[in-house]
Amino acid sequence: MAERFLTSRDVAQRVGLSKTEIYRRISDGTFPKQVPLGTHKIAFLESEIDAWIAGRLAARAANEGAKRRRDRAADAEARKHQNGGGRT
């Protein structure tokens, strides 16, 4: 199946978050990164957004609390920086 691009507006509607919150989560490493399409145009891969939604549903099903999710995200970010994947 071919990948489909979604605009930031489409993504905001689909996940129920504001654009500001989406970009905050991208910066935190807890949301899929956008794909540059041109000088002034970005999009998101539909499959990555679907996977993020599925992850949120799995977290709910596992009764993960907000603190546990924040702790996991912080651990993932720390590992990313240890492995040289952090921003400079």
Q: What is the pLDDT of residues 41-77, one digit of tens each?
A: 999 999 999 999 999 999 888 776 666 777 888 888 8
Q: What is the pTM of this model?
A: 0.69
Name every residue whose Cβ is closer than 8 Å to that of residue 41 and which is 6 or more positions away in sequence. Answer: none
Percent of the chain residues topping a pLDDT of 90: 61
Cβ atoms of residues 45 and 53 within 8 Å = no
The pLDDT value given to residue 30:
95
The pLDDT value given to residue 62:
79
